[in-house]
Structure 1
Amino acid sequence: MIIYENPRQMALSESQILDTAQHFLMCGIEDCGKNCLFYCNPCHQPMCEKCRDEHQRSPETKNHELVPYRHRKDQLPVEKCRDHPTKDLDILCDQCSVPLCSKCSTMPVHKGHFFTDLETIYTENSAACRQEIQNIKAYFIPMANDLQNEIKLDATNIKTIMGGIRSSMMDEAKSLKTLVDEVTSDNIEQVNKMEDSLKEMLESQDIIYEDYISYLKDLVNQFYGYLSSTQFQNNAIIFPLSEYFKIRPIPETTKPVPPVFTAGRYSKEMVTKLLGKITVSKTEPENRKVKAMETASKHLKHTRLQGREKYGVKQRLSSSVTKVREYTVPGADSVHHISQGKSSSLWVSDNGSHIVHTDLQGNQLQKIKTSGVRYVGNLTVTQDGDLIYADIQNKVINRITPDKTITEFIKTGDWTPLSIHSSHINGDILVGMIKEGKGKVTRYNKTGKEIQNIERDNKGQELYSYPHYITENINGDICTSDSIKQAVVVVNKSGQHRFSYTGQGSVFFPRGVCTDRRGQILVCDINSNTVHLLDQDGQFLCLLLKQQQGAWSPCSVCVDGENNLIVGQRETNTLPVYKYLQ
């Protein structure tokens, strides 16, 4: 409570109490001390009801203007007239727009001019200034703070995105280098085989000539024997020698033909095409949303609450959501998993182990029968627009190209693939698998080569038991919904355990999981028929969707290109779409 002992203190302090809930003003008449309700404008004196009545009865002040306190005039600062030093400036010449004293108004230069009471103008403008101060404090400063905080958040997100791009570039370079090493190794191995074959041929020819030379030497020795013999009875030299001169011809052999190496033809542009390149987005930047001033007071409390939620102060409150549309998936009896394809089409898997591709008008584009099981995130759309899905029975990952051709993409060996996600950062494939009661997450590059296995934390404890839904956050974190552990298990891109979210005290049966453009994590709880909203570090923000808002047995979630939430449910093929970010 603030008590003012005189009008001057009241005038000086009033601007400081605009935002306070209440204040108490005392009557300005000496020794009164009662509550001030009225104001004498000529005297600039606050008064109680009794003092006002006495003031009106006094002959000296009976004609004074007495008004309710809130209609008072502000006291005009005293300033003497330059031309008439004994007079105060108290009027304004409307034509000349200069303050005057009453004596100045009689001067010839102001003859015929209109004048306005300077105190009235001062009061009106003072009130306008106070209102403008209130507007600045209540609207402009909070709105500018919100926009400034949004810029800081954008800066953080840009740093994360750029880090992801750099990481993707390095991964692409490593992937290409691995392929180059593999191709070079294959070529060298082929050259070695060719060399061995040619050496074997030359060694064979060498043996042929070695045998032939030995034959010739034996023949020479035979002829020398004929010449040195002195016995004619059996000496062939006295007989015709034609038969002995039939020497075997020199064997024919072929010269080796070595292979020719044709150097590859490539350019910087070709390598750039292989590795990918960074381009400036053609998307026009959106203007930051500034709420209209007339709605500021209505939404001020809500806006400040949102600001605290966005920038660090966690509120355990239910967030309001608005249903904006719904889709129907023909040919599906439920929606156990959702993935958005190109042109905003949707791929879903249902209770009957079907995969259905549909456009947003409800037209079925493709339907596939798989060997899947219920409640798994068994499909995902790649950066190239292909669908890949887990064939659980055959333990393979299949690919469906836009021309609807199905090919075997990855074999998972003894491990049964349950969940799958294609990274939007670098195109890697994340697969949640099980074998003999154990679980793991395996990362493949986009060519299908295994590059990482995640099974245990840094204490050697098993991270997963049944990783049936999986996604990746904007910072590279891998978020996995595990129904046996009843938790959302989150590791960083290196596989180091960051945190596990186990619900809000009651039994938690997590199903579908996804992330949004802010890095927030959304997960279905089929036990309580809710969708939980977490921040990037696993802190609970709110129950984003409850049963009374239409979440009946939610088992899959997906965030579309407009950052709206699409929810798939166990008993229906209808997909409600909600706006939850303001």
Structure 2
Amino acid sequence: KNCQFYCNDCHQQMCEQGRDEHKKNKKTKNHEVVPYKQRKRRIPAEKCKIHPTKDRDLLCEQCQIPLCSKCTATKEDRGHVFTDLEIVFAEKVSQYQEEIDKFEIRNYFEPVSQDVKKEIAGDVTEIKKIMEGIRTTMKAEAESVKRMVDTVTLDNIEQVNKIEQSLLQTLNGQNQEIDDYINYLNDLIQTYYGNPSPSKIENLTLSLKSKSLKIRPVPETSKPVPPVFTAGQHNKEDVAKLLGKITVPNTKAENRKIKPMQTASTQLKPTEKQKKQVREKSDVKQTLSLSSSVTKVREYTVPGVNGVYHISLGKSGRLWVSDYIGNLVQTDLKGNQLQKIQTSGRDEGYHTVTQDGDLIYTDRVNKVINRITPDDTITEFIKTGDWEPLSIHSFHINGDLLVGMIKDGEPSKVTRYNKTGTEILNIQRDNKGQELYSVPRSITENINGDVCVSDHYSGVVVVDKPGQHRFSYTGQESWFRPYGICTDVLGHILVCDTYSDTVHLLDQDGQFLSLLLTEQQGLKYPYSVCVDDENNLWVGQYDTNTVTVYKYLQ
């Protein structure tokens, strides 16, 4: 039966029936039987080091050390007092139980520790994926260098073959010339020592008329000059430059965020407002889905631009909009212009708002990424070297930056930086070494960590967080020209197609779900899309400075 009681004398757990029988027994009727939670904890049995046959079951109050009964004989003479160690142990256990309850070990520390453990396990998985992605990229780089080495080697061998053919042709000509000379000498010998043929009588007659015999000199020949092969001057560092290198960012690891412990009163007595917020959040998460139709909610006019090529939503109801000629304008929702910057940007998604509310934008000409803080201070944030930064996106969960970049003679790439500007990962090729991007015009990140790129020529290219290619989407027709791209809280991918004047809706695995917006709904030349915190879709078109907001989730 279930244990409900405990005998502190026998150190036995018992049910209600067992307790009653224990009390009736003459030998145990005087034992102390208590509810199980109030039991005295049995001290661990430990033998005395001086008297190995005896257990240490007493505590000397003066010395504060455990002793056996034999040890007390020496200390009694000094007036020391001894207490039953079991009683002291029980008191301490009771005291610490209160401390444990006070500090919410089971309700706070243990659950939070389990959460940290899960987070560490997730980090382990993520690190393994990232490292595998790095290994794959390294192998692809090595294969590329190998192909380059093979090409250069074949060119060199072909050059050697041509030089060899020319030298042998010269030597063969010289050899033939010597053969002809030897034949000439043989004919001369035959003329004077042999029986001349009738055809040579004439030559002999001419020779006899001469005062002396003239012999042609040996033909001049030259020794060929072979080519010299100069071995390439290279070392391990040169090869490492070709293949790239892995570096560990000199950035201090961030401490994991531990949620603060709430007081017991807060945990036990949430306010009605808190209860309502929890219910509403839970209900929204459970029931949010695609609407059967798309509804136009409102429109905003953005002064200072002649088209809406890219939108970045900021805090406090503010938005940034850019057009094709480098105008980057910040407005409020009433259409008031708050700030205007002249940039080198064109039709790409070259600006984004961070989780801190800063605007970050790319400068293709100077090859830098700039930051604008809420107090309107513009600072140079990241230098991109020889690469032109095109598109950029800030992920609001961890602050990472994704930057699409191009460079003459190099495959385009997407680089991930952390929020301090330290380079983390370059994504350039798939696991077969094929180039992923042509012109990464717009970029975003999905709720599952996928990097989604709108490439004007390659379509929608999606890789996972470590950079492994997941899928590419090239539209529903033969022509597909994607521009703006974004994702929502359900993991949907939304992308503009300027060729068919539509907005395509995909799931997070690249499956086409629907044409969310078309010409029939008044859409024309869609260039930019984004989703706000209320799950509304914002759409910009390049022939007007109006931003239209749609509701498509319910």
Q: Give TM-score, length-normalised by structure 2.
A: 0.50
Q: Which amino acid aligns with 1:337?
A: H
Instruction: Map Cα deviations across residues 63-108 of structure 1 (whole Å, 9 max, x no partner).
Output: xxxxxxxxxxxxxxxxxxxxxxxxxxxxxxxxxxxxxxxxxxxxxx
1:494–1:164 CA distance, 2 compared to 1 (3 A): farther
**CA 393–537 in structure 1, closer or farther in 2 if over 3 Å, else same:** same
Q: For residues 165 and 332 of structure 1, what CA distance do their matches in structure 2 show? A: 48
Distance 1:500 1:398 in 2: 30
- Structure 1 residue 344, shift from structure 2 partner: 2.5
Q: Tell me what 1:468 maps to.
A: 441
Partner of 2:509: 537
Contact 1:319 / 1:543 at 8 angstroms: preserved in 2? no
Aligned counterparts of 1:168 and 1:481: Cα–Cα separation in 2: 30
Show the counterpart of 2:240.
none
Q: 2:312–2:320: 8 Å Cα contact kept in structure 1? A: yes
Match of 1:504 in 2: 476
Distance 1:540 1:476 in 2: 20
Distance across 2 between alignment mates of 1:403 and 1:275: 29
CA RMSD of superposed structures (Å): 3.3
Question: Aligned letter for 2:413?
Answer: K
The verdict on how the C-alpha distance between 1:169 and 1:355 changes in structure 2, with shifts beyond 3 A counting, is farther
Q: Which residue of 2 aligns with 1:480?
A: 453
The AA in structure 2 aligned to 1:553 is Y
Task: Provide the rounded CA distance (Å) in 2 between the counterparts of 1:449 and 1:491.
Answer: 21
CA–CA distance in structure 1, aligned partners of residues 499 and 126 of structure 2: 42
Q: 2:498 aligns with which of 521, 526, 531?
A: 526
Q: How does 1:51-66 map to 2 (within 5 A)?
A: none
1:320 aligns with 2:293: yes
Distance in 2 separating the partners of 1:355 and 1:278 = 39
Q: Structure 2: how far apart are the matches of 1:371 and 1:355?
A: 10
Give the distance between the partners of 1:278 and 1:376, measured in 2 at CA.
Answer: 39
Partner of 1:524: helix, strand, or coil? strand
Instruction: Give distance in 1, aligned partners of 2:121 and 2:329.
Output: 32
- Residue of 265, 285, 289 corresponding to 2:278: 285
Q: Is 1:337 equivalent to 2:330 in the alignment?
A: no
> What CA distance in whole angstroms lies between the structure 2 residues aligned with 1:272 and 1:449?
12
Measured after TM superposition, the shift of residue 460 of structure 1 is 0.6
> Paired residue for 2:215?
none
Deviation of the 1:505 alpha carbon: 2.2
Give the Å deviation of 1:168: 12
Distance 2:309 2:124 in 1: 30
Q: Percent identity?
A: 65
Query: Please, which of 365, 378, 383 is the counterpart of residue 411 of structure 1?
Result: 383
CA distance in 1, matches of 2:359, 2:126: 25
1:189-248 deviation digits (Å, cap 9, x = unpaired)? xxxxxxxxxxxxxxxxxxxxxxxxxxxxxxxxxxxxxxxxxxxxxxxxxxxxxxxxxxxx
Does structure 1 residue 577 correspond to structure 2 residue 549?
Answer: yes
Structure 1 SS opposite 2:494: strand
Matching of residues 171-250 of structure 1 within 5 Å = none
Aligned with residue 334 of structure 2, among 361, 370, 374? 361
Partner secondary structure for residue 553 of structure 2? coil
With over 3 angstroms needed to count, the CA separation of the structure-2 counterparts of 1:445 and 1:272, relative to structure 1, is closer
Deviation at 1:526, TM superposition (A): 0.4
- 1:37-436 to structure 2, matched below 5 A, reads 167=123, 276-278=257-259, 284-287=277-280, 320-373=293-346, 375-436=347-408
Q: How far apart are the structure 2 equivalents of 1:164 and 1:352?
A: 47
Aligned residues: 300
Contact 2:463–2:469 (CA under 8 A) maintained in structure 1: yes
Cα deviation for residue 570 of structure 1 reads 0.4
Q: CA 1:325–1:459 in 2, change beyond 3 Å: closer, same or farther?
A: same
Number of the residue aligned with 1:451: 424
For 1:285 and 1:167, the matched residues in 2 are separated by 28
Distance 1:474 1:164, change over 3 A: farther
Alpha-carbon deviation of 1:478? 0.2
- Indicate if the aligned counterparts of 1:323 and 1:578 stay in contact, CA closer than 8 A: yes
Counterpart in 2 of 1:217? none
| Equivalent AA in structure 1 for residue 369 of structure 2 | I
Task: Judge conservation of contact 2:504–2:515 (CA < 8 Å) in 1.
Answer: yes
Check 1:389–1:401 CA distance in 2 against 1; reply closer, same or farther (3 A cut): same
Structure 2 CA distance for partners of 1:528 and 1:319, relative to 1, 3 Å: farther
User: Do the aligned partners of 1:164 and 1:425 also contact (CA within 8 Å) in 2?
Assistant: no
Per the alignment, residue 64 of structure 1 pairs with none
Aligned amino acid, residue 388 of structure 1: I
Report the Cα distance in structure 2 between the residues aligned to 1:332 and 1:341, rounded to whole angstroms: 18
For the residue of structure 2 that corresponds to 1:284, the secondary structure is: helix
- In the alignment, which of 517, 523, 534 is matched to residue 551 of structure 1? 523
What's the offset of the Cα at 1:331?
Answer: 1.1
Mapped to 2, the partners of 1:164 and 1:333 lie a distance apart of: 49
For structure 2, list consecutive stretches of 5 or more residues without a partner in the other structure: 1-114, 131-251, 263-272
Question: What is aligned with 1:99?
Answer: none
Amino acid at match of 2:388: T
Given that 1:386 and 1:400 are in contact with CA atoms closer than 8 Å, whether structure 2 keeps it comes out as yes
| Counterpart code for 2:429 | R
The secondary structure found in structure 1 opposite 2:527 is: strand
* Mapped contact 1:168–1:425 kept (Cα < 8 A): no
1:474 aligned partner, one-letter code: I
In the alignment, does 2:508 pair up with 1:515?
Answer: no
Are the structure 2 counterparts of residues 390 and 530 from structure 1 closer, same or farther at C-alpha, using a change threshold of 3 Å? same
State the alpha-carbon separation in 2 of the partners of residues 165 and 471 from structure 1: 26
**Partners of 1:569 and 1:391 in 2: how far apart?**
23
Q: For residues 348 and 277 of structure 1, what CA distance do their matches in structure 2 show?
A: 37
Between the aligned partners of 1:421 and 1:164, the Cα distance in structure 2 is: 26
Deviations 1:5-50 (A, max 9, x none): xxxxxxxxxxxxxxxxxxxxxxxxxxxxxxxxxxxxxxxxxxxxxx
- Contact 2:303 2:335 survives alignment (8 Å): yes
Query: Structure 1 residue 284: deviation in Å?
Result: 1.6
In 2, Cα distance between equivalents of 1:483 and 1:337: 15
User: Residues 381 and 165 from structure 1, CA distance in 2 versus in 1: closer, same or farther, beyond 3 angstroms?
Assistant: farther
Quick check: 384-393 or 343-352, which moved more?
A: 343-352
Q: Is the Cα–Cα contact under 8 Å of residues 324 and 345 in structure 2 kept in the other structure?
A: no
**1:561 is the counterpart of 2:523:** no
Contact 2:395–2:445 (CA under 8 A) maintained in structure 1? yes
| 1:386–1:401 contact (8 Å) kept in structure 2 | yes
Task: Provide the rounded CA distance (Å) in 1 between the counterparts of 2:413 and 2:520.
Answer: 36
- Measured in 1, the distance between the counterparts of 2:349 and 2:124 equals 24
Structure 1 contact 164–475 (Cα < 8 Å) conserved: no
Cα gap change, 1:164 to 1:494, in 2 (>3 Å): farther
SS in 2 for 1:285: helix
* Correspondence for 2:206: none
For 1:468 and 1:358, locate their aligned partners in 2 and report how far apart those are by CA, in whole Å.
24
Paired with 1:529 and 1:376, the residues of 2 have a C-alpha distance of 18
For residue 367 of structure 1, report the CA deviation from its aligned partner.
0.5
Quickly say closer, same or farther: Cα 1:561–1:286, change in 2 above 3 A. farther
CA distance in 2, matches of 1:441, 1:365: 31
| Alpha-carbon spacing, 1:164–1:406, altered in 2? closer, same or farther (3 Å) | farther
Contact 1:169 1:275 in 2 (8 A): no
Give the Cα–Cα distance (whole angstroms) in 2 for the partners of residues 456 and 518 of structure 1: 28
Which runs of 5 or more structure 1 residues have no equivalent in the other structure? Answer: 1-158, 175-270, 292-305, 311-317
Cα displacement (A) at 1:277: 4.5
